Chain A
Amino acid sequence: MRKLNTLSLGLSLWLGMIMATGSALAAGAGGKITEHDWSFSGPFGYFDQASLQRGFQVYREVCSGCHGLEFISFRNFAELGYNEDEIKAIAAEYEVVDGPNDEGEMFERAAIPADRYPSPFPNENAARAANGGAYPPDLSLIVKARPNGANYIYSLLTSYTDAPSEMDVPEGMHYNEAYAGQMIAMAAPLYGEDVDYADGSDTSIEAHAADVVSFLAWASEPEMEKRKRTGLAVLIFLSVMCVVSYKAKQYIWSDVKKA
């Protein structure tokens, strides 16, 4: 009995400490966060391909003007449900710099599926120069790079309001309740009806935000579905092995006299 207490007290304290650390870290964000219901959260989470495709459209037509997506290549869009020809067609809409050619010159050509998604600016300084000194971060890992990432970015995109009258918003800054410090250099990128969806689904600002966040969640963790599916199989296998190895141990120990 005493061993049971020792073990459970010990384990719960350990877990408590880990949780406390987790929440202490998560508390760092500072802004007001709304929780949204995501298809990709939880152990059975999956990406809704229709939503990913709509999110990509929002990304392409709105966000990609300022933000890069450096770890995504066109070929990765197969995971959004596009076929090879569609991906070739998407890639061909972009120009990338290649070279040097036989004359030693760099040249521009249409992108192919193996190319990275092109960034809007050649370097950070150019990005800052175009954005009043602020740097629009690369978005390919953004959902993992913020605490409670999906909910945070969803809130960020939907929380632009007028500043309270006593607050002084400097030139080039915008009031946003989700952002730590409430002043962000990014102007509201979404207003609702920014993009025409081919599937005729909802184009409210909330729907746009949810779609683009789903797309970014995929970009951050493209392995997520496979990871969780593998995980379920592994856990089922291990649970069975727990029982088997426990029974084997009990059987082997049955001839040991209990003190």
Chain B
Amino acid sequence: MQMQNFKNPVVNWIDHRLPVFSFMHHELNEYPTPKNLSYLWNLGSLAGFALVMMIATGIILAMHYTPHVDHAFASVERIMRDVNHGWLIRYIHMNGASFFFIVVYIHIFRGLYYGSYKAPRELLWILGVMILLLMMATAFMGYVLPWGQMSFWGATVITNLFSAIPFIGESIVVWLWGGFSVDNPTLSRFFALHYLMPFMIVGVVLLHIIALHRFGSNNPLGIDVSGKQDTIPFHPYYTSKDLFGLVVFLTIFASAVFFYPNFLGHPDNYIPANPLQTPAHIVPEWYFLPFYAILRAIPDKLGGVLFMFGAIAVLFVLPWLDKSPVRSGRFRPIFKVFFWLLFADCILLGYLGAKPAEGIYVVLSRLATAWYFFHFLLVLPVLSLIERTRPLPQSISAPIIGGMAMAGAAAKREKPDA
């Protein structure tokens, strides 16, 4: 890293001894970035924003929340009714979790399409999958905190999954619960962990960014930058683009928070938890539905759990399943078709996860689950061997069909929407 010379003498004095300003200048200002990134590359900074927003609102909620089975539900209602702007803080936190997942899921599909997981970015990708796992754990435990019917029964169903582990399963469940059912000890520890895990996510996000800055962003062409003519400094180009993206995101997010704050939630969670009364349908939050569908598709309990975790495990080894040297789906005619089939398959799984496990839904869940694993374990390895890819452009500045023109088209579309 090159030391900078800053105009401000105080900054310079500090920087000479503790080069944080040089570091920030290097990583956030001059950081060379491919000039052809599309709007799909906005999602990373949005995810970072969402994380900070969740931590900020979460800490305020924690100041007013009571992690006790007799008071949790009422304390959340107190936040909604009596704490100044409590309804706003809570609705931002509640909808923020959903939007965080929307952003991260788009971010992941972006990576899948443009081959961002391929060498030399394998660890960057794996750190991303770890973030996803931590987010899921955090959101699951957060959803238990308001202690409504879905909180309680969702926690019961999901923690019970561990009982499928042979021999020690039952003991593990008792250990997780801190008792013989989901009860006060469970709520207290979920609260402690829900407070802790976002900060673990922050740690992994930092590693994710260090890994990113080692080789820089991938880009819609999936080819390496060949020199200075292919890149522009992060600031002011991508700072201004990310800012615009953030405002568009906030506009959509605010529409949900202020006008449809409970649209993505379940009405049953406004009924206080009642261990004696099982709701008619226990459904997890929408962002877990595809995994829930896979879980229920397998007739065996242990098998279901293994496939559900397997659905994430395949993402960890994805860089070694898809060995095609061409990153971007844009130059892979067959891969592209299968990518969209996988995308549709995930949507279908999400839909099925919300349906009762009966009749045609079970059959479809099994087919969709099979397709998911078929895609990763068979299609991708085989495609890497047989697919005839289209010729790659020489460089980012040279191609006939450049990424810039397309990014421009996307921008034109987004303006009236906003």
Contact = CB atoms under 8 A, between A and B. Distances in A.
Interface in A1-31: 1-4, 6-10, 13-14, 16-18, 20-22, 24-25, 28
B415 interface: yes
Interface residues of A, number: 59
A136 interface: no
Contact of B81 (A2, A222, A258): A222
A4 B410 contact: yes
A235 B254 contact: yes
Nearest to B410: A3
B261 interface: yes
B254 A8 contact: no
Given A3-B39, A238-B251, A259-B404, 9 more contacts: A2-B330, A18-B264, A70-B74, A137-B271, A144-B262, A223-B80, A231-B259, A249-B240, A258-B408
A112 to B, nearest CB: 17
A4 B409 CA distance: 7
A-B pairs with the 6 shortest C-beta distances? A231-B258, A259-B402, A242-B418, A145-B270, A3-B406, A245-B244
A137 B81 CA distance: 20
B44 interface: no
Contacts of B250: 238
B254 to A, nearest CB: 5
| Residue among B81, B347, B396 with most chain A CB within 10 A | B81
A17 B240 contact: no
A25 B356 CA distance: 10
A109 B325 CA distance: 81
Given A258-B404, A259-B402, A3 B409 contact: yes
A211 B106 CA distance: 44
A249 B244 contact: yes
Given A43-B259, A227-B87, A259-B36, A235 B347 contact: no
B254 A253 contact: no
17 contacts: A1-B406, A3-B406, A7-B413, A14-B105, A14-B106, A22-B264, A228-B259, A230-B88, A231-B255, A235-B251, A238-B251, A242-B247, A245-B247, A246-B244, A249-B243, A253-B241, A256-B35
B77 to A, nearest CB: 5
Contacts of B167: none
Contacts of B289: 21
Contacts of B224: none
A167 interface: no
B124 interface: no
A105 B262 CA distance: 44
Contact of A252 (B236, B248, B340, B406): B236
Nearest to A241: B247
Interface of A: 1-4, 6-10, 13-14, 16-18, 20-22, 24-25, 28, 43, 70-71, 76, 137, 140-141, 144-147, 149, 180, 220, 222-223, 227-228, 230-232, 234-235, 238-239, 241-243, 245-246, 248-250, 252-253, 256-259
B365 interface: no
Contacts of B411: 246, 250
Given A10-B343, A241-B247, A253-B240, A24 B267 contact: no
A70 B77 CA distance: 10
Contacts of B347: 13-14, 16-17
A18 B289 CA distance: 11
Contact of B354 (A24, A140, A146): A24
B62 to A, nearest CB: 21
Given A20-B351, A227-B261, A239 B240 contact: no
Interface string B380-418: 000000000000000011110011111111110101001
A99 B106 CA distance: 57
A149 B286 CA distance: 20
A252 B240 contact: yes
Contacts of A2: 330, 406
B25 interface: no
Given A145-B268, A235-B255, A242-B418, A259 B396 contact: yes
A8 B240 contact: no
B164 interface: no
B418 A28 contact: no
Given A7-B410, A239-B251, A245-B247, A146 B267 contact: yes
B257 interface: yes
B267 A228 contact: no
A182 to B, nearest CB: 15
A157 B38 CA distance: 54
Interface in B159-175: none
B267 A147 contact: yes
A256 B404 contact: yes
A230 B258 CA distance: 8
A242 B248 contact: yes
Contacts of A4: 406, 409-410, 413
Nearest to A231: B258
Contacts of B241: 249, 253
Contacts of B407: 3
| Residue among A3, A8, A180, A243 with most chain B CB within 10 A | A3
B403 A259 contact: yes
Nearest to B248: A242
A25 B38 CA distance: 36
B405 A258 contact: yes
